[in-house]
Chains A and B, each alone.
Chain A
């Protein structure tokens, strides 16, 4: 009887561990190997969410690494007044760019490749704090 119960217990614990895989998305930062001063931005067509996140905050004078991950179609990326066009980012491609903002303020990040009918709306905000 004890042996039977032990197997049921082992089974139950294993089942809970397997169901724990539902929490997989919570480990995004670890799975992406995110470093300090690194910001991951995922690029989706505007209809599918656009820039994720759509707003980032950085510090003036501090170098920031942007990890741009193409999600669905080919996109481009630039931050008006802070960073030139980085070129195309294909679906599944990861492009890492660095920049050091020299002035504070609010800037606009945008897609530079016609990516969907709502391409012109694919913008986000970069806040540079003192």
Chain B
């Protein structure tokens, strides 16, 4: 093991915490129990989405998913990586059916699935990134119309089920789910990581139960080699490797910021041809700004464009209310062009331009610009995450009353099951920008540090790295100023 790795905290060896935590994670009922609890919430989301109050703010599906969950996921990424994927009930029906087990481990080769290998062309996050962009293009509908949210989640569960019957493992989560990839992408800036204690133990161990499965656990459903983990992108934190490893060599590491920067730099430098991850970064980064604008910005016409001229909330019986007007649809197309244009073309083009300038400033002729561009894009992993954290803080502080009330009245029918009815009352709204500012300053600092480390590895000298980082910093500061301008209204 190299020195910096030793500095990380091996959570499963922390006194008083490690042993019970390990026992829980190795218990086969752990995953099932958490998914079951979450599935209960999910069933309420579907029921309320289709049949509850058509007004979003009074409906559990909107209030809990697009306020509480949406914000909580960002914090989960920072502190727990893909913890949401551990709990997510969407792929559960497919996985249970394919395995023919709810809790236990079946004998090998008895999948109730075609067990096909994943198509190589789809072994990336393109579909997922474009899916996230796609649902963001109907954002004003999605986050205010319960039936749209209900339909989206129903489709995700159906696709999750079908994919599990065709492909082996978590192909749906790995490459299709619109949330999974951005969670994985930003998890590379997380304090959390599932890692081998000693990689050499895994290298020498021939049986490799973490890949093939064993009597106590399945082989990695995400088709990874857990013993060789160096990043968090595709580790779904299902902890099957912790269960199956007979060498007791898998653990959870609490990563220090220096480790995060080092591991992220390694991912960035090795990222050859990973345009999918670069565009995931651009999409997430620019959409953070659009989400802030749509949810809290003063530009009412943006919401109108996104709404396609429809003013009503809708559930299944009133779904007809969502028929857009022709003018509204035309405005929406304009909205699509702006959002997709900025996310897919304008910002990446600016980023490419700055990468080219950075390479020129570094006076380096050995590295192609596209490699510099791809590697530098990984600075958006922490930067984007902290922008989204700033957004999450706002949405929670402004709209906290809706999800709490929704737990007491999930259908929005006037129930008060838990005695929790709160009127909309934002918490210190005037101070929110002052809470957001430090968050994106941390993100910006992180981005600059990561860019410098990447540049150092790419160009091999401190001087060159500083020059290249200075150029990229201009872009990162400029985007930070745009964000500040937006949140200040």
Binding site for B on A (CB under 8 A): 4, 7-8, 10-12, 14-15, 18-19, 21-22, 24-25, 28, 31-32, 40, 42, 44-45, 47-49, 67, 69, 71-72, 91-92, 94
Query: Across the interface, do B312 and A48 meet the contact criterion of CB distance under 8 Å?
Result: yes
Query: From B421, which residue of chain A is reached at the shortest CB distance?
Result: A92
B424-459: which residues lie under 8 A (CB-CB) from chain A?
none
Q: Which of A11, A40, A67, A71 interacts with B412 by CB under 8 Å? A: A71
In angstroms, Cα B139 to Cα A19, docked, is 29
Q: Is the CB of B415 within 8 A of A32?
A: yes
- Chain B nearest CB, measured from A13 CB (Å): 10
**Contact partners of A32 in chain B: CB under 8 A:** 413-415
In the complex where A11-B32, A25-B47 touch, is A48 in contact with B314 (Cβ < 8 A)?
yes
**Are the C-beta atoms of B47 and A22 separated by less than 8 Å?**
yes
Of the stretches B49-57, B370-378, B470-478, the one at the interface is: B49-57
A93 closest partner in B (C-beta): B414
Q: Are B103 and A7 in contact (CB under 8 A)?
A: yes
Inter-chain contact A14/B36, CB cutoff 8 Å: yes
Q: List 26 A-B contacts (CB under 8 A).
A: A4-B104, A8-B101, A8-B104, A10-B103, A11-B102, A14-B36, A15-B36, A18-B39, A18-B43, A19-B43, A22-B46, A25-B47, A28-B411, A31-B415, A32-B413, A42-B414, A45-B312, A48-B312, A69-B414, A71-B53, A72-B54, A72-B55, A72-B313, A91-B55, A92-B405, A94-B414
Whether the pair A21, B47 counts as a contact (CB closer than 8 A) is yes
- Residues on the A chain within 8 Å of B220, using CB: none
Asked if A47 contacts B28 (CB within 8 A), the reply is no
| B403 interface contact, C-beta 8 A | no
**A92 touching B58, Cβ below 8 Å:** yes
Asked if B312 and A11 sit within 8 Å, CB to CB, the answer is no
Interface residues of chain B: helix, strand, loop or mixed (majority): loop
User: Are B312 and A47 interface neighbours, CB within 8 A?
Assistant: yes
> How long is the Cα–Cα vector from A124 to B36 in the complex, in angstroms?
43
Q: Are A48 and B321 in contact (CB under 8 A)?
A: yes
Q: How far is the CB of B181 from chain A (nearest CB, A)?
A: 28
The answer to whether the Cβ of B485 comes within 8 Å of any Cβ in the partner chain is no
**B44 within 8 Å of A (CB atoms):** yes
Q: Is the CB of A48 within 8 A of B313?
A: yes
| Distance between Cα atoms of A7 and B27 in the complex (Å) | 12
Interfacial residues of chain B within 112-162, with CB under 8 A of chain A in the complex: none
For B89, give the chain A residue with the smallest CB separation: A18
Task: Tell me, in angstroms, the Cα distance from A22 to B410 when the chains sit together.
Answer: 12
Nearest to A3 among chain B residues (CB) is B104
Q: Indicate if the CB atoms of B58 and A91 lie closer than 8 Å.
A: yes
Contact indicator B318/A49 (Cβ below 8 Å):
yes
**Shortest beta-carbon distance, A116 to chain B, in Å?**
8
**Is B29 positioned at the interface, with any CB of A under 8 Å from its CB?**
yes
In the complex, the chain B residue whose C-beta lies closest to that of A90 is B423
Q: Main SS of the interface on chain A? A: helix
Within 8 A of A (CB), among B12-43: 28-29, 32, 36, 39-40, 43
Q: Does B350 contact A (CB under 8 A)?
A: no
Q: Could you tell me the distance between the alpha carbons of A45 and B318 in the complex, rounded to whole angstroms? A: 11
Q: Which of A31, A49, A67 has the most CB of B within 10 A?
A: A31
In the complex, whether B317 has a CB less than 8 A from a CB of chain A is: yes
Chain B residues numbered 312-371 whose CB sits less than 8 Å from any CB in chain A: 312-314, 317-318, 321
Once the chains are docked, how many angstroms separate the CA of A40 from the CA of B415? 12
Instruction: Select which of B39, B104, B414 is within 8 A of A7 by beta carbon.
Output: B104
- Our pick among B101, B317, B409, B415 for the contact of A49 (Cβ within 8 Å) is B317
Name A19's closest neighbour in chain B (CB-CB). Answer: B43
Query: How far apart are the CA atoms of A25 and B317 in the complex, in Å?
Result: 14
Is B417 located at the chain interface by the 8 A CB criterion?
Answer: yes
Residues in B whose Cβ lies below 8 Å from that of A48: 54, 312-314, 318, 321
Quote the shortest CB–CB distance from B70 to chain A (angstroms).
Answer: 22
Interfacial chain A residues near B47, Cβ < 8 Å = 21-22, 24-25
Additional A-B contact list (6), CB under 8 Å, known A7-B102, A24-B411: A18-B43, A19-B43, A21-B40, A44-B54, A71-B413, A91-B58
**Chain A residues with CB below 8 A from B55, complex form:** 71-72, 91
- Listed from nearest, the 8 A-B pairs whose CB atoms lie closest are A11-B102, A69-B414, A21-B43, A31-B415, A72-B55, A7-B103, A18-B40, A11-B103
Find chain B residues with CB under 8 A from A28 CB.
Answer: 411, 413, 415
- B321: chain A residues at CB < 8 Å are 47-48
Chain A contacts of B314 at CB under 8 A?
48
Determine the distance from Cα of A8 to Cα of B36 in the docked complex, in whole angstroms.
13
Which of A8, A12, A32, A48 is most buried by chain B, counting CB atoms within 10 A of its CB? A48
B39, B43, B46, B103: the one within 8 Å of A8 (CB): B103
Cβ of B53: which chain A residues have Cβ within 8 Å of it?
71-72
Q: How far is the CB of A72 from chain B (nearest CB, A)?
A: 5
Residues of A within 8 A of B318 (CB): 47-49
**B285-328 near A? 1/0 per residue, CB < 8 Å:** 00000000000000000000000000011100110010000000
Q: Which one of A32, A44, A47, A94 has the highest number of Cβ atoms from chain B below 10 Å of its Cβ?
A: A47
A7 (CB) vs chain B CBs: closest residue? B103
* A18 in contact with B36 given A25-B51, A47-B318 (CB within 8 Å): yes
Q: How far is the CB of A95 from chain B (nearest CB, A)?
A: 10
Q: How far is the CA of A6 from the CA of B109 in the complex (A)?
A: 23
Instruction: Select from chain A the residue with minimum beta-carbon distance to B32.
Output: A11
